[in-house]
Amino acid sequence: MDGGEVIAQVLKKQDVRFLFTLSGGHISPILVGAKKQGIRIIDVRQESTAVFAADAVGRLTGVPGVAAVTAGPGVTNSVTAIKNAQMAHTPLILLGGATATILKGRGALQDIEQIKLFKTLVKWATTIKQYCDIIPVIEEAFDVAKSGIPGPVFVECPIDLLYDETLVRKWYGTFTGDAKTSDEKAINLYLRTHIDTLFACSNNNMKPSDPKAIIPFSIDQEKISQTISYLKTSKSPILVLGSQVMFRTEEVNNIAYAVEKLSIPVYLTGMARGLLGDINPINLRHKRSVALKEADLIILAGMELDFRLNYGRAINPKAVFISINRSETAIKKNRKPTLDIQADPSTFLVALSKNCSSKKMDWNDWVNKLHSREVEREKQIQKFADLKTEYINPLILCKEINKAQDTDSIIIGDGGDFVATASYIVKPKTPLSWLDPGPYGTLGVGAGFALAAKLVRPESEVWLIYGDGAAGYSIVEFDTFVRHNIPIIAVIGNDAGWTQIYREQVDYLKDDVATVLTYNDYHIVANGYGGKGLLLNNSENIKEILNNAKALAKKGSPVLINALIGKTDFRKGSISM
């Protein structure tokens, strides 16, 4: 059995269902071996897409997603996607091809210092050095990726440990020929010793083990008691849930029940969006910064005080501040909490709800005040939606997308201004149904995320909401969608520009340099790759086009709607830097 098939056996044992890749000679045995094991091989057009897809699998299932890329450029093309996964704390395994062990540092094709490159990008970067290391190294990679604060792992797979031993010995033999001089004999001896070492344990009977159960962080009962004490005296509490709350995907129903039982007014961010459905009396969507300035108790679970919360300045400095996070560093970033709780946030909140009295605390006045602001903000949004713009008002389009989505739809956001606008209006209806890049703010995640979402939940409708700038990164993957029968619905908000940058740049610097695009025919691009492209250029046709797209997707075709939209001042002044 060659090394590629051994790796594939481990992947199969670890419940890996999909392997995302872009072909390369350095990794071919892994792909062939995985196919033999019944793992579905999804070959894409850019290495970054493969890693983004693996990222989304990790987020949606809790099982590390896996991507395999070839040596050198294949590995370096994945760097941005790996960094995105690192900052989002996604469990992910990247298998990178590498030159033969004997040729390291000798100028071989696509040979670079891959381990050094990845040291700061992943939880663990390692290389396989012997055939008998394959199983333990890959198994440890999965354990590391899932444990503690999850994250990506990079495993370098040298080509001479992936192919059949007999073939590799033949390759090594071609390096020398007949030895005549003492130097040549010494080289031959060195090569034989090297290859014997590589395969010294190739005949062992090691077999992959079952996946290890990852034990969640322990819960400190004293911290639960302290939190309950603060809740009892609070008149205006706020709960903010970040993506980390969704790490234990098997617990999503329990965490939803716990949050409802606690009845604390809650803002859901990132992957937590949709946890309580699209309509829930305690689930707030608007005026978060105002609420945080007035709250007397703020519980931040599963995110940190970074730019999204204005580095801590968004919250009331006099409030009791409780931070719950797996990361000790994140807990204390930018502001020391009143009560720091290093734990898995979902596990802690479930335990907290079980220890709280079944009698709901009296926060009615506070909740009513927050609800009145929600109504006020919805009226403001409607005013922007009522404005006339060139082509289609983007807020109207988002409202219609929200109406058109199914109850089990998954929403993918990849873009700047249009996607941020959609985040105010398009409401995910179920847990684990919203995917965006996360704190890194990476453009280009869209196709990979949508690809994985449809594979993981084939029965769900997948909407990919693109900005026209972001679409340029991955529209080529419509070829992948077609080849692998992935019927997603993509909507490009085409306003012919990098609008999130344009708006502020023109205001501050009086110059639109590098922010202007054109109203390109993206629907024709989708048609060219074998998908279905639809042009939407007036408001009267929105419902018809959206329904047509849904019908085409149900018949098995990936669809792209090129929606020509105008510009508004809805998000004026909201740029993050």
Per-residue model confidence as pLDDT tens digits over 488-519:
999 999 999 999 999 889 999 999 999 999 99
Strand order in the sheet with 152-158: 40-43, 18-21, 65-69, 92-98, 152-158, 124-127
- For tokens 């990008």, name the residue: 121
pLDDT category of residue 171 using cuts at 50, 70 and 90: confident
Q: What is the mean pLDDT of residues 278-288?
A: 92
474/56 Cα distance (integer angstroms): 15
The confidence score (pLDDT) of residue 379 equals 95
Check whether 58 has a pLDDT greater than 70: yes
Detail the DSSP E strand segments found in 195-280.
Answer: 237-241, 266-268
Q: Quick one: tokens of 381?
A: 């949004």
The confidence score (pLDDT) of residue 393 equals 96
Strand partners, 240: 267, 300
- pLDDT tens string 439-467: 998 999 999 999 999 999 999 999 999 99
Q: What is the mean pLDDT of residues 98-108?
A: 84
Residue spans per domain, the chain:
3-198, 221-363, 387-564
The confidence score (pLDDT) of residue 177 equals 60
Q: Are 53 and 30 in contact (CB under 8 A)?
A: no
Torsion of CA 481, 487, 488, 492, to 10 degrees: 70
φ and ψ of 103, to 5 deg: -105, 5
pTM for this one? Answer: 0.95
The chain-wide mean pLDDT, for the chain, equals 93
The CATH topology of domain 387-564 is: Rossmann fold (3.40.50)
Q: What is the mean pLDDT of residues 355-376?
A: 87
- pLDDT tens string 400-433: 999 999 999 999 999 999 999 999 999 999 999 9
321/293 Cα distance (integer angstroms): 12
105/103 Cα distance (integer angstroms): 6
Strand order in the sheet with 283-284: 283-284, 266-268, 237-241, 297-301, 320-325, 339-342
Q: Are 185 and 177 in contact (CB under 8 A)?
A: no
| Superfamily the domain 3-198 falls into | Thiamin diphosphate (ThDP)-binding fold, Pyr/PP domains (3.40.50.970)
Class of domain 221-363: alpha beta
Number of H helices, E strands in the chain: 23, 18
Q: Quick one: tokens of 202?
A: 């190739």
244/246 Cα distance (integer angstroms): 5
Among 333, 306, 337, 311, CA closest to 323: 337
The confidence score (pLDDT) of residue 174 equals 62
pLDDT category of residue 176 using cuts at 50, 70 and 90: low
Q: What is the mean pLDDT of residues 457-480?
A: 97
Q: Are 150 and 91 in contact (CB under 8 A)?
A: yes
154/125 Cα distance (integer angstroms): 5
Residues 6+ apart with CB under 8 A from 474: 46, 49, 414, 444, 446, 447, 448
Q: Quick one: tokens of 469?
A: 């700038």
- For residue 87, give the H/E element and its range: helix 79-88
One-letter amino acid at 37 equals: Q
Q: Are 496 and 441 in contact (CB under 8 A)?
A: no
The confidence score (pLDDT) of residue 362 equals 81
Helices 394-404 and 542-554, axial angle in degrees (round to 10): 40
pLDDT category of residue 72 using cuts at 50, 70 and 90: very high
244/61 Cα distance (integer angstroms): 13
Q: What is the DSSP string of 172-207?
A: HHTTT-S--SHHHHHHHHHHHHHHHHHTTTTT----
Detail the DSSP E strand segments found in 165-319.
Answer: 237-241, 266-268, 283-284, 297-301
262/65 Cα distance (integer angstroms): 33
- For residue 308, give the H/E element and its range: none
368/383 Cα distance (integer angstroms): 23
Q: Quick one: tokens of 437?
A: 């890049």
The confidence score (pLDDT) of residue 358 equals 61
- pLDDT tens string 327-356: 999 999 999 999 999 999 999 999 999 998
Q: Are 21 and 44 in contact (CB under 8 A)?
A: yes
Q: Are 385 and 399 in contact (CB under 8 A)?
A: yes
The confidence score (pLDDT) of residue 182 equals 81
Q: What percent of the chain has pLDDT over 70?
A: 97
φ and ψ of 341, to 5 deg: -130, 105
- For residue 102, give the H/E element and its range: none
Check whether 130 has a pLDDT greater than 60: yes
One-letter amino acid at 510 equals: K
Local structure of residue 555 (DSSP, 8 states): T
pLDDT category of residue 202 using cuts at 50, 70 and 90: low
Kindly report which listed range (76-80, 185-189, 281-285, 369-373) carries the lowest average pLDDT score.
185-189
The confidence score (pLDDT) of residue 214 equals 85
CA distances to 98, 205, 281 from 157, in Å: 6, 21, 52
pLDDT category of residue 197 using cuts at 50, 70 and 90: confident
239/295 Cα distance (integer angstroms): 10
Q: Quick one: tokens of 514?
A: 């590098």
Strand partners, 300: 240, 323
Max CA distance (Å), the chain: 94
347/301 Cα distance (integer angstroms): 11
Check whether 178 has a pLDDT greater than 80: no
Q: Give just the sign of the alpha carbon dihedral 7, 8, 12, 16.
A: positive
397/389 Cα distance (integer angstroms): 12
Q: Are 3-198 and 221-363 the same fold in CATH?
A: yes
Local structure of residue 510 (DSSP, 8 states): S
435/440 Cα distance (integer angstroms): 13
Kindly report which listed range (205-214, 297-306, 314-323, 415-424) carries the lowest average pLDDT score.
205-214
SS3 state of residue 443: coil
Q: What is the mean pLDDT of residues 145-173?
A: 92
